Amino acid sequence: MAGPKATILYVDDDAQVRTTLAEVLSYNEYPTVVAATAEAALRCSNRQEISLILLDINLSGENGLVLLPYLRVNRPDVPVILYTGLDHDEQQVAGFFERGASGYVRKAEPMQELLEVIRIALISRAPKPQEQPAIGLGRRVQRQRQAAGNSGGKERF
């Protein structure tokens, strides 16, 4: 029998998306705490035992990318997955990983993709930037990084 599941903090300013995803995560045995703003997310991350943060990039008020460095410094043990409705190219996604993201998933992807990203991130528990698993679009970026590292060549994105 498996032990208790990890608690996820989901930060999104869209109430309907926040509620729906919290229900899906709970159904998949991930207790979920939600926050609508960066400020609320900071309070939750400091007050509760959080195992993973799922962060929308396009928050009203503070942008999720502004919140990311603070989370990496103050909660280095907690993986942060960027979950966004926006499209980003591979170079942008690579930049997110360099800033400390543990994963990247577009909201348009199937829910199974997000659940797999969460599972992988929880296993790796906030790896060092050079070891971060790239997820979704980022998988191609990770393969390119590994290929560049193995060949001794310069990284190309």
User: Where does the pLDDT of residue 66 fall: very low under 50, low under 70, confident under 90, or very high at 90 and above?
Assistant: confident
Cα dihedral 98, 99, 104, 108 sign? negative
- Determine contact, residues 45/80, Cβ cutoff 8 Å: no
Residue 86 DSSP one-character state: S
- Determine contact, residues 34/12, Cβ cutoff 8 Å: yes
Using the predicted structure, report yes or no on whether residue 85 has a pLDDT greater than 90. no
pLDDT at 124: 80
Task: Read off the tokens for 13.
Answer: 């300013």
Using the predicted structure, report yes or no on whether residue 112 has a pLDDT greater than 60. yes
Using the predicted structure, report yes or no on whether residue 2 has a pLDDT greater than 60. no
pLDDT in tens, 9-49: 999 999 999 999 999 999 999 999 999 988 888 888 888 88
* Least confident piece of the model among 6-15, 40-49, 113-122, 125-134: 125-134
* Least confident piece of the model among 11-25, 40-54, 104-118, 142-156: 142-156
pLDDT at 115: 93
Mean pLDDT of the chain: 81
What 3-state class would DSSP assign to 82? strand
Task: Read off the tokens for 8.
Answer: 């996820």
Separation CA 51–CA 145 (nearest Å): 27
What 3-state class would DSSP assign to 143? helix
Separation CA 30–CA 115 (nearest Å): 10
pTM score above 0.85: no
- Determine contact, residues 78/53, Cβ cutoff 8 Å: yes
